């Protein structure tokens, strides 16, 4: 029987074909790009972090330019634009500067869409953008709709797309009509299925919780009225993987309970597996940098599902355009009667 590792190691392999170029803005380590490259799209990443760029270049076919994007950056032409623009947690109703905030990535993303005029584009962001910062999301969507796109957004949970983790993100897509989001997959992958025998193994980078850390965790869970311990439960999908709960020695950190009762922090490789990264995907930089890359990434299996919908959309658009051309080339019925 094929294991989860077998599946992601086989499915998530770059397989560049004749699909159009994808510009991947705020690309991180390439989780989103990996899903697109596995569906045949060539990619070009834009990312300011040096370790992320190194990881992207090492694992993917596409290049990654180390650059800090802003609204004045000149982008190359492409039919597809994707990315995860950083968004400052504020409402436009407050005293902040909205799209004029220098820390915000959306002006650069909107500028790219204006310049490139792609057939289809998308960005992903945290679920709070739909709720706490809904005013700001409305402003961004209004700007993008003014460019002539049909803009839709949907809260998607990665667990519904063969990712062993409950991870909700808002996925915003701009298109010319007839785009369909990925269908939900009823099968759910548990953390135990994803990690297999890894939880009972110890490696050189295994870090165990000390007695004082165990006491701190117990105090944290009691203070927060935690009913279910924050340990990794192997019989269900993981809770959301983040930079903080992977690398940080906090009460909320991900940790495994071993058969002898000891608890240890997840390794980079284990965090990557919960994010659906294949085992061959190598993270460059320090351990802390690798944890940050894993925690910030779009799960590649979620990206793979979205990229498949992009492929269907672009191919159906080509078919529709070809049909329209044939119609225009055929003599009208009135012309035939006159002849």
Annotated catalytic sites, by residue? 87
Rounded to an integer, what is the distance from CA 167 to the centroid of its chain? 10
Q: Which two tokens stand for residue 101?
A: 């905030």
Distance (Å) of CA 122 to CA 33, 151, 175, 214, 230: 12, 9, 9, 42, 33
Q: Cβ neighbours of residue 40 under 8 Å, at least 6 residues apart?
A: 15, 16, 17, 18, 19, 311
Contact by Cβ (8 Å): 86, 70:
no
Contact by Cβ (8 Å): 191, 234:
yes
Quote the CA–CA distance of 165 and 246 in Å, as a whole number.
Answer: 14
Quote the CA–CA distance of 236 and 32 in Å, as a whole number.
Answer: 24
Contact by Cβ (8 Å): 178, 313:
yes
Which among 1, 281, 8 is positioned nearest to 164, based on CA atoms? 8
Phi, psi for residue 198 in degrees, rounded to 5: -55, -40
Quote the CA–CA distance of 143 and 141 in Å, as a whole number.
Answer: 5
């Amino acid at each position: 029987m094929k294991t989860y590792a077998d599946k992601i190691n086989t499915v998530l392999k770059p397989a560049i074909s004749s699909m159009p170029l994808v510009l991947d803005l705020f690309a991180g380590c390439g989780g989103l790009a990996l899903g697109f490259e596995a569906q045949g799209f060539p990619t070009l990443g834009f990312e300011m972090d040096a370790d992320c760029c190194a990881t992207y270049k090492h694992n993917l076919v596409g290049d990654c330019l180390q650059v800090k994007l802003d609204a004045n950056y000149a982008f190359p032409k492409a039919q597809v634009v994707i990315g995860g623009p950083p968004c400052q947690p504020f409402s436009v109703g407050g005293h902040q500067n909205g799209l004029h905030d220098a820390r915000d990535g959306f002006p650069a993303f909107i500028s790219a869409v204006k310049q490139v005029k792609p057939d289809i584009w998308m960005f992903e962001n945290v679920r709070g953008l739909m709720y706490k910062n809904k005013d700001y999301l409305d402003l961004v969507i209004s700007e993008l709709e003014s460019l002539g796109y049909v803009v839709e957004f949907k809260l998607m949970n990665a667990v519904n797309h063969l990712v062993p983790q409950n991870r909700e993100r808002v996925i915003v897509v701009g298109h010319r009509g007839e785009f369909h989001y990925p269908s939900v997959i009823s099968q759910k992958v548990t953390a135990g299925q994803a990690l297999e025998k890894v939880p009972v193994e110890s490696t050189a980078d295994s870090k165990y919780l000390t007695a004082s850390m165990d006491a701190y965790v117990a105090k944290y869970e009691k203070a927060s009225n935690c009913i279910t311990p924050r340990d990794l439960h192997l019989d269900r999908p993981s809770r959301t993987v983040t930079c903080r709960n992977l690398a940080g020695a906090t009460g909320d950190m991900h940790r495994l309970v071993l058969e002898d009762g000891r608890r240890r922090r997840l390794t980079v490789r284990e965090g990557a597996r919960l994010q659906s990264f294949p085992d061959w995907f190598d993270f460059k930089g320090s351990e802390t940098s690798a944890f940050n890359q894993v925690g910030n990434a779009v799960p590649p299996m979620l990206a793979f599902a979205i990229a498949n919908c992009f492929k269907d959309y672009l191919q159906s658009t080509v078919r529709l355009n070809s049909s329209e051309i044939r119609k225009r080339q055929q003599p009208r019925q009135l012309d035939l009667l006159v002849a």
